[in-house]
Amino acid sequence: MRTLLSGATLCALLLASPTHAASVYRCVDETGHVTFTRQGCAPSQTAQVQNAFNPTPGSGKATRMAEPSSQQAKRQRKHADTGATLTVVGEQDDGCGNLLTQQARRKAIVEQQVRAGMTRADIESALGRPDTITSNNGQTRYRYSAQKGRSRSVSFDENGCVRVKN
């Protein structure tokens, strides 16, 4: 019974140990664009496996994720000389075309302003719950009644974003 318990404890300790390294694929297409992924590369791309190692924080030393080979460094210099642009894969999309930065969005909410590219949740954070909600052909309109007979109307497109006025 004692060896069985020790073996179970040993297995639990081994399974609980964190992995410190991960394999990442560096995919290069025929035009030279580089993509890093954990799922693998497309058949038309050249693939290179890189081990990414993230040490436990607290050592105080800066650690590079991967050291480029001399061949990679030459290609990077070549692309830098040609003015090639870096393509960001996985950029956050707010669903409204990223018309507003997070800072501009926060400022508009705090100042109770309505700007193109804000979502319904943004408008409700800025102005509160609307007095009336109407929908027609996939477009929604919030109406806010103010004092002195004035009202404010906010129109949204089919994606729930404040419509851009043309």
| pLDDT the model gives residue 86 | 64
Domain layout of the chain by residue ranges: 21-55, 102-156
| Whole-number pLDDT of residue 4 | 47
Report the amino acid identity of residue 29: D
Tokens 């069985």 — which residue? Answer: 4
Q: Model-level pTM?
A: 0.44
pLDDT at 160: 87
Please give the pLDDT value at position 83: 62
Distance CA 148, CA 140 (A): 25
Using CA atoms, how far apart are residues 86 and 90, in angstroms rounded to an integer? 13
**57 vs 60: CA distance, rounded Å:** 7
pLDDT averaged per 10 residues, the chain (length 166): 48 47 80 83 85 64 64 66 63 76 90 90 91 88 84 88 71
For residue 3 the two structure tokens come to 């060896």
Query: In this predicted structure, what is the pLDDT of residue 143?
Result: 92
What pLDDT does 50 receive? 78
User: In this predicted structure, what is the pLDDT of residue 19?
Assistant: 46
- Whole-number pLDDT of residue 56: 63
Give pLDDT, residue 132: 92
Res 82: pLDDT: 61
Rounded distance between C-alpha atoms, residue 150 and residue 128, angstroms: 16
